[in-house]
Chains A and B, each alone.
Chain A
Amino acid sequence: MPIERGLQYLRHMQRVTLKNLPMPLEKTDKWKKEHPDENTIKSIMSRKGPISRNSLPPYGIDPIQAEGRLPWILTVPKEPYYEGVEEARQYLPISLRTLQRLIDLRRINPDKPVDLPVLCNTKLFSIQPDQRQFGLQLTDEGADLFSTPINLEIQWVASELAIAAIERCGGVLTTRYFDPISLSALVDAKKFFERGEPIPRCDTPPINAIEYYTDPKQRGYLANPDLIREERQRLAQKYGYKLPDSSKLSPLFHLRKDPRQIFYGLEPGWLINLKDQTILKPTDNKYQTFYHS
């Protein structure tokens, strides 16, 4: 036992006084000789070179191999405020003012559901899926002017005012996610059908977007419809308008797309023949289970 041996030594040895205590190792001359500090080293070494002139490179760099230059990695500055720019999603803006204008000029038909291919056919927006653009977003400029009920499907909404402006007139809004492959089919639908590919199945949104598309406040397409009804009432109370009766609405406003569906009326997996005006549907079991899952 170390304690008892130490106490045994205490009993047999001299009385411990102020002058009997052992000096710590770091203060003896022998230690100081073997471990000189920075100033003694500097006084012994040469008076020239990067050490004496306080111009040593950072640790980890050999001053001889560096040849007087810092490595390229250290010369290029960091700009951390641009972090994540390669993975960020972009949405092109469309305001309520342009929407109202397009409806007044009869470029969009409010009696049919307004979604992405309808808006892209106006040729006002050029969406490029390979440039990380994922669709359109609704801005609230012109919220006072908007006055037509429509069934709108948009990819992103940032402000509550825009949602309130649409629902005040009796319209319906949903936010929907399209992955890049289905987006390229939607943006130019005629060109896609001429290619002769089957309609793709839309993927689920990425992890950092799931919270948005399951939120009833943003009217996500994966959210609970009961919660969406609550939020509509809440918004109406907040902004001071009255919601119309849901039973008096036309069946237009009840139209919604399946989470895997891209076009209204067309299912994923179907091949469309524009020349012969026919649709080809898969009959094999595995294709049907895949496209219907």
Chain B
Amino acid sequence: MIKSLSLVKILRQCSIRSIRHFETSTQPPPFSSDPTSNPISQQLPLIVNRQLEYPHVRYPPLQAWLETLGQKRDEKLGIVDLHPSIWQTSPRLDILYENIEWQKTYKKIDWAYTPPHHEYPSMRGKPWPQKGTGRARHSSRYDPQWKGGYKVNGPKGPTSFFYVLPKEKRIEGLCTALTVKLHQNDVHFVDSFDLPTHQPTYLQELTEDRFWGPSILFIDDTDIMPHNMMFASAKTEGFTVMPVYGLNVYSILKHTTLVLTIRALNKIEKKLLHALNSYDTQKDQPAPPDEP
């Protein structure tokens, strides 16, 4: 079903020339004879089969297009297999809500503090005698009913709202966020982030032509990015670049589209599948891996 819908999207967005080119994908494109001007020099299609660990019992692997950022024309390099445990889970919006609330509140500290009775100036003596003056009777100047008086049961000191959501909920949150994005046509897979120029206009026009949305989240497997990519995303508003270890539900839902490289996809699948298919207790958990 996804394949048919993606084809529909291509028919809407891409030009007819590119479709005709895709049908004859094994041959080089006819319009560009210069090998230097064509960034795609390899034999197409690039990816045909991808090995998946822990194959799902019921569902076959999903499929998605593999695209490039190297040229402005929308050209598909191949098809990528996706694991259904991550990309076809039930769309649990309540778990997404819990993850987002956790991300917002675990950092929160409430600094409100109202000094109590003993931290006020001394309250010896009545402000005026009990009888005689026409005013109300009072015993001290800083009582709670006075303006500027102490508060009885007010907030006392910094309170923290720290808590850690259980591991299973965090994992399921990531998987549902990814399925939601995939099934609403907001995920794109790219071979790498190598751009021909550092001009931000190149990336902006590319994404506008392809209707990739105002805010995009680019994800690579390491935190060292190519210079062109960094420059272009720094100068545009709405583009963020992130390594795999920074992936979180809030960022996935905040940005309209997700763009993943194949290496990032491999890393994410490996980590999530290992976590989904293991039954480690708190004590038996292995040490975290060396690479981030």
Contacts and interface: CB of A to CB of B under 8 A. Distances in A.
Contacts of A17: 253-254
A24 B94 contact: yes
A13 to B, nearest CB: 8
Contacts of B94: 22, 24
B100 A3 contact: no
Contacts of B253: 16-18
B248 interface: no
A3 B87 CA distance: 12
Contacts of B183: 7, 10-11
A95 B184 CA distance: 92
5 contacts: A3-B90, A10-B183, A10-B184, A16-B96, A22-B94
A105 interface: no
Contact of A18 (B89, B186, B250): B250
A23 B97 CA distance: 7
Given A2-B90, A15-B186, A15-B256, 15 more contacts: A3-B88, A7-B88, A7-B91, A7-B179, A7-B183, A10-B91, A10-B184, A11-B5, A11-B184, A16-B253, A17-B254, A18-B100, A22-B93, A22-B94, A24-B97
Contacts of B250: 18
B97 A21 contact: yes
A17 B186 CA distance: 12
Interface of B: 5, 88-91, 93-94, 96-98, 100, 179-180, 183-184, 186, 250, 253-254, 256
Given A7-B179, A10-B184, A11-B183, A16 B93 contact: yes
Given A10-B184, A11-B184, A15-B184, A21 B100 contact: yes
Interface of A: 2-3, 6-7, 9-11, 15-18, 21-24
Nearest to B94: A24
A74 B290 CA distance: 60
A194 B186 CA distance: 106
Nearest to B257: A15
Contacts of A6: 90-91
A22 B97 contact: yes
The 4 A-B pairs of least Cβ separation, nearest first, read A10-B183, A3-B90, A21-B97, A6-B91
A16 B90 contact: no
Nearest to A22: B93
A42 to B, nearest CB: 14
A2 B179 CA distance: 15
Contacts of A18: 100, 250, 253-254
Nearest to A14: B184
B96 A21 contact: yes
A21 B94 CA distance: 8
Contact of B184 (A16, A23, A24): A16
Nearest to A21: B97
A2 B90 CA distance: 8
A81 B106 CA distance: 48
A11 B96 CA distance: 18
B221 to A, nearest CB: 26
A3 B88 CA distance: 8
A21 B97 CA distance: 6
Contacts of A16: 93, 96, 180, 184, 253
A2 B253 CA distance: 23
A2 B97 CA distance: 20
Contact of A21 (B88, B89, B93, B184): B93
